[in-house]
Structure 1
Amino acid sequence: MKKLILPLTLLSSIAAADTLNWDGRVFEPVNVKAEIVDFQGEKVMKVERDLEAFPFEKSIEVETVDDRHFLKLKNFEFRDGTFEVKLLSRIQQPTPMASSQGFIGLYFRVNDDNSAFESIYLRPNAGRSDIQAMRNHTVQYFAFPGYKFADLRDEAPGLYETWADIGLDEWITMRIQVTGEKAELYLNDAKYASFIVNKMKGTSKAGTLGLYVDIGTEGYFKDLKIISSIHPDTGDI
């Protein structure tokens, strides 16, 4: 498969933007458009991928998704911890990708220059599909660089994704617990994990968080909580 390498220096210069203050935290858009909006009677963060800053190419789809397009939390670094956010996705109208599944989720252990991170994200439109094979792709893990969704499907089919009962245009609570090489996803206040990655693939062992959307998604976020975190250098909680 032909790989497209987008230079970090180019992406960084294109993506430079003013920071946003939201709920007492500072965020930096990285190849996304973000703003605080009134939505369903609340002030929430709206995030959409910036296709001018980071173009999508259907002919090389894998190379232009699962990448550096997210809203980055500034002035925070953790190694292990638990964090939670409520998110909702819709398909953009008109959509730049007819098969968009409402891609939305979280990045974590994002390093300083955005060259490495882990992620768990959702495809809400797949959650209640009439096709079981599509349902099996509702939840997705990947690690950047080197382990996008297609790479992991080739390496270990079904191991890094699963089904969940979620859908578009509804608030979904997403809580991720990170401990060493393990990540656990809890959806909608479930007592037990909906998805477990027993051995993550990423090279970054510490970093910050990011709010992620991908092609064709109109994403909304609220109630971001850092429930616990361990600093990578001091071990302080």
Structure 2
Amino acid sequence: MTDVNAGSTFLPLDRLPGGASLRSVTAFAGEIEGRKGLRVGLTGEAAAGVPGVDYIDQPTFVLLPAAFENGVIEVDILSRLTADAPDYARAFAGIAYRISDDADRFESVYVRPLNGAKLNPPGPRVNRGVQYFAYPEWDFERLRVEYPDGRYEARADIGPDEWMHLRVEVEDQRLRVGINGVEALAGAETKAMPASGKIGLWVDIGTEAFFSNLSITRG
């Protein structure tokens, strides 16, 4: 592991990193598809809570002791539904970044593998494989209503129960997202002013996600 506040950081995520904390999630070392990773899911209390208060684009993540404002974050993710997932769950998992000290502000990019093009879901779900949001004002629902052109969500050639590589590039209020080397979101102005903060491994309702090989390159 490199210095979590230096120019670059690498965390294999084969165990919970020292100094990490949990916000409405559980996290355990695990192995799946031949790879070690950190298994993350909502706590029972969060999952049984109120939508939009305890889950759905909320601060539900493993908070890592790594500072970040601009640069590139890359991570491998395998995500799938839990046995008790609600019918609207899509195995939501991704990266939160620029998390404030009290977690009342952050941005996030996450995937919805059950909307992945590999499963050929019906429209418009096929165009909702990856999502950006900015907490607390700009959740996915508001972005979808106010920007029906889809600039903050996009198609992705992914599916559940398989490892995928997520790349998030941030420069002030510009964002580029790639999945498995293919650009998914590009150039849209983000909904939060640049600010230094922490990074989190983010999940939402009905999700069991594994995270591996996190790298951070600060700009």
Scaled to the shorter chain, the TM-score interval is: 0.7 to 0.9
Unaligned runs of 5+ in 2: 1-12
Confirm whether residue 218 of structure 1 aligns to residue 197 of structure 2: no
197 and 117 in structure 1: CA distance in 2 versus 1, 3 angstrom threshold: farther
Query: What is aligned with 1:141?
Result: 132
Decide which of 143, 152, 164 is 1:172's aligned counterpart: 164
Corresponding residue number in structure 1 for 2:37: 44
Q: Which has the larger radius of gyration?
A: 1
Whose RCO is larger (CA < 8 A, sep 6+)? 2
Distance 2:71 2:146 in 1: 28
Equivalent residue letter for 2:41 = E
- Is the Cα contact below 8 Å between 2:61 and 2:202 reproduced in 1? yes
- Between the aligned partners of 2:204 and 2:17, the Cα distance in structure 1 is 25
CA contact (8 A) 2:64 2:199 kept: yes
1:100 matched to 2:89? The reply is yes
Q: Distance in 1 between matches of 2:131 and 2:206?
A: 17
The one of 87, 100, 107 aligned to 2:77:
87
**Root mean square deviation of aligned Cα:** 2.0
Identity of aligned residues (%): 33
Deviation at residue 153 of structure 1 after TM alignment: 1.1
Q: CA deviation at 1:124?
A: 0.6
**Does residue 1:194 correspond to 2:184, yes or no?**
yes
SS of structure 1 residue aligned to 2:94: strand
Distance 2:179 2:98 in 1: 20
The 4+ residue runs of structure 1 with deviation greater than 3 A are: 20-26, 53-57, 61-64
Match of 1:35 in 2: 28
Instruction: Confirm or deny: 8 A CA contact 1:117 1:143 kept in the other structure.
Output: yes
Cα drift, residue 208 of structure 1: 1.4
CA distance in 2, matches of 1:129, 1:51: 31
| Mapped partners of 1:138, 1:21: distance in 2 | 26
Q: For residues 123-164 of structure 1, what are the alpha-carbon distances to aligned partners after superposition, in whole Å with 9 as ceiling and x for unaligned?
A: 110113331211111111100011000111111112211111
Letter in 2 for 1:109: R
Partner-residue secondary structure (3-state), 1:125: helix
Return the letter of the residue paired with 2:106. F
Distance in 2, Cα, partners of 1:112 & 1:21: 25
**CA distance in 1 between partners of 2:187 and 2:146 (Å):** 14
Distance 1:163 1:21, change over 3 A: closer
- Alpha-carbon distance between aligned partners in 1 of 2:104 and 2:193, rounded to the nearest angstrom: 10
Match of 2:197 among 196, 203, 207: 207
- Check whether the contact 1:110–1:204 (CA below 8 A) recurs between aligned residues: no
Residues 107, 118 of structure 1: 8 Å contact kept: yes
Report the CA distance between 1:203 and its aligned residue: 4.3
After TM superposition, give the deviation of residue 78 of structure 1 in Å: 1.9
Normalised to the residue count of structure 2, the TM-score between the two structures is 0.85
Matched letter for residue 123 of structure 2: Q
Total equivalences in the alignment: 203
Contact preservation (8 Å) 2:14, 2:38: no
Task: Note the residue ranges of structure 1 that are not aligned, 5 or more in a row.
Answer: 1-19, 231-237
Alignment match, 1:131: 122
Distance 1:26 1:189, change over 3 A: farther
